[in-house]
């Protein structure tokens, strides 16, 4: 399932996502709702399923929020997953999450910085997007 973004907001969203892409070495970039609904999605690897990534992101967010709340570390800001062949960063945008992933481990600091820098703008853009 996906969320339709009004045309004016979509134009703003695309501009910011293009800026992030120009600053980073991401192989995947997406915006999803906290319920797992896709808003925007790009992946170099065509085997990555946008529906599956959105669902996994929703599960990660839910579980991470629970852990952060129980440990009194909140509120949740980022989720960073790192494997031997890549990493995934989820950045809180309010009702939505920005997801960036790459196989270039060395680019993680640049990616985290870029996503953090653009998150306030994306959060403002997405604040007016209806949930359904």
Considering the entire predicted model, what is its pTM?
0.90
Residue 1 domain flag = no
- Residue 84 sits in a domain whose CATH number is 3.30.450.30
Per DSSP, the three-state class of 56 is: helix
What the block records as the tokens of 61 is: 């967010």
Q: Which residues have CB under 8 Å from 112's CB, separation 6+?
A: 78, 80, 89
How many structural domains does the chain have? Answer: 1
Question: 50, 126, 70: which is closest to 95 by C-alpha?
Answer: 126
pLDDT digits (tens, 9 = 90+) for 22-39: 999 899 999 998 888 889
Q: What is the structure's pLDDT at 72? A: 95
Residue 59 domain flag = yes
pLDDT digits (tens, 9 = 90+) for 66-124: 999 999 998 888 999 999 999 999 999 988 999 999 999 999 999 999 999 999 999 99
Q: What is the structure's pLDDT at 34? A: 85
- The whole domain housing 102 covers 7-127
Question: 83, 123, 96, 99: which is closest to 28 by C-alpha?
Answer: 99
Question: 7, 62, 68: which is closest to 32 by C-alpha?
Answer: 62
Of 1-10, 16-25, 110-119, where does mean pLDDT reach its minimum?
1-10
Residue 36 domain flag = yes
Q: Which residues have CB under 8 Å from 102's CB, separation 6+?
A: 24, 25, 26, 27, 28, 86, 87, 108, 111
Q: How many residues does the chain have?
A: 132
């Amino acid at each position: 399932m996906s969320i339709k973004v009004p045309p004016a907001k979509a134009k703003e969203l695309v501009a910011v996502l293009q800026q992030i892409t120009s600053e980073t070495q991401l192989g995947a970039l997406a915006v999803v709702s906290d319920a797992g609904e896709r808003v925007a999605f790009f992946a170099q690897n065509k085997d990555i399923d946008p529906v599956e990534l959105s669902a996994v992101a929703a599960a990660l967010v839910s579980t991470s929020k629970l852990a952060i709340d129980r440990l009194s570390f909140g509120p949740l800001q980022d989720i960073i997953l790192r494997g031997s062949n890549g990493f995934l960063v989820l950045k809180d945008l309010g009702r939505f999450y920005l997801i960036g992933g790459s196989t270039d481990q060395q680019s993680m600091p640049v990616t985290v910085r870029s996503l953090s820098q653009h998150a306030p703008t994306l959060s403002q853009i997405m604040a007016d997007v209806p949930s359904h």
